[in-house]
Amino acid sequence: MNLKEIRKNIDLVDSKILALLHDRMELGLMAKKLKSQIEDREREKEILERIRKNVTGLINATFIEKVYTEIIKESKILQQRDYQLIAFQGEHGAYGEVASREWRSNLIPVPCAEFVEVFEGVESGICDYGIVPVENTLGGSVEQVNRLLINTALHVVGAVELPIRLCLLALPGTDYREIRTVYSHPQALAQAREFLSRNKLEPVQYYNTAGAAKMLAEKRPKGSAAIASKLSAELYNLEIVKEGIEDLDRNITRFLVLSREENRGEGDKCSIMFSTEHKAGTLFRVLEMFARQDINLTRIESIPNEPGNYAFFLDFIGSHKEEKVVTALENVREITTNFKMMGFYKERKIA
């Protein structure tokens, strides 16, 4: 190993340290939501004592204690700023995080391994908001998320239509001609199938697009690349070999923003959920109520709920201040079962 390779490994370790420090600060912000006060001397003492016991090898215990004292100090400073957290599914750099930044850039995105964890994080109060994808122009409905929406008491307070721009990412200095294998989520690989085939690149499925980028940066497999977001390239210090490699131009994912509280501001979009009786024409009667009031429906989705029973999701353009909207909703409530007002909100369409 020469000096250049050693320094490259040092840079890699430094990036891991920074990422772990970021993760630790996020956990501190989450912990703050569940405790009555920021200051906890006993907890700090416990942490420092455990660190002292685990110090081995080259590292001096006094040095490590100084480092962790500063880490704890910075964590408390961040907790005092009363940041609001928004949960998303995936690793940092996922398109859910991209959408959260487009919705409100002052929120702190918190990654969750599964969609159910996003819901649980908001329901428990650890996170102020959650953001989840509900449909994609190429992949269709995100059934797992819609099933979770059926039983949640959370409210929809916002929405984002995000164009999904797939990027081919590689390690800095990589000769693109040497790339043979590409890692990413199965859906992203499917959406870039023609590009991969044309360039004779072997697709390898990974659990998450941003996770593939993170793995590439950490494990550095030879002759490999990842398909992920532009944000992933920034976060994991990767180079964008080519942007916009999706096979079809119109690749848009719609995300809903969830909260324990209803939206108190203005809204020009509404989401509702309901079931209907097992009679011919019942769904038509619901749609007719909106047609009579000249209300534009933007989405209708059916999800199996119980055996022989379906839940319907319906979105439309309108405000709770409009008389025609109030009338339509009153009529729909009367002819449906399990009616739920999910929320009025504003939707952001990203160009």
* The CATH number of domain 85-163+252-349, selected from 3.40.50.300, 3.40.50.12780, 3.40.190.10, 3.20.20.80: 3.40.190.10
Q: Which residues are catalytic?
A: 253, 255
Percent of the chain with pLDDT over 90: 79
Please compute Rg for the chain using Cα positions: 24
Sequence-separated (6 or more) residues with CB below 8 Å from residue 152: 119, 123, 258
pLDDT at 66: 93
Q: What span, in angstroms and rounded, lies between the C-alpha atoms of 136 and 207?
A: 18
pLDDT band at 229 (very low <50, low <70, confident <90, very high): very high
Query: pTM score > 0.85 for this model?
Result: yes
pLDDT in tens, 80-132: 998 999 999 999 999 999 999 999 999 999 999 999 999 999 999 999 999 99
**Domain boundaries along the sequence of the chain:** 3-80, 85-163+252-349, 167-243
What CATH topology corresponds to 167-243? D-Maltodextrin-Binding Protein; domain 2 (3.40.190)
Q: What span, in angstroms and rounded, lies between the C-alpha atoms of 241 and 168?
A: 5
Two tokens, residue 177: 């001609």
The answer to whether domain 85-163+252-349 and domain 167-243 are alike in fold is: yes
* pLDDT over 90 at 153, yes or no: yes
46: left (phi over 0), alpha (psi -120 to 50) or beta: alpha
Q: What span, in angstroms and rounded, lies between the C-alpha atoms of 330 and 275?
A: 15
Backbone angles phi, psi at 85, to 5 degrees: -110, 145
Choice between 188 and 305, residue whose per-residue pLDDT is larger = 188
Question: Residue 164 in contact with residue 187, Cβ under 8 Å?
Answer: no
CATH class of the domain defined by 3-80: mainly alpha
What CA–CA distances, in Å, run from 86 to 91, 126, 127, 157, 283? 13, 9, 6, 12, 35
Q: What span, in angstroms and rounded, lies between the C-alpha atoms of 208 and 188?
A: 9
pLDDT at 52: 86
Say which residue the tokens 């159910």 belong to.
116
pLDDT band at 70 (very low <50, low <70, confident <90, very high): very high
Choice between 305 and 349, residue whose per-residue pLDDT is larger = 349
Using DSSP, how many helices (H) and how many strands (E) does the chain show?
12, 16
pLDDT in tens, 240-256: 999 999 998 889 999 99
Helix (H) or strand (E) run with residue 130 in it: strand 129-136
pLDDT in tens, 286-309: 999 999 999 999 999 998 877 668
Percent of the chain with pLDDT over 70: 99
Q: What span, in angstroms and rounded, lies between the C-alpha atoms of 165 and 248?
A: 10
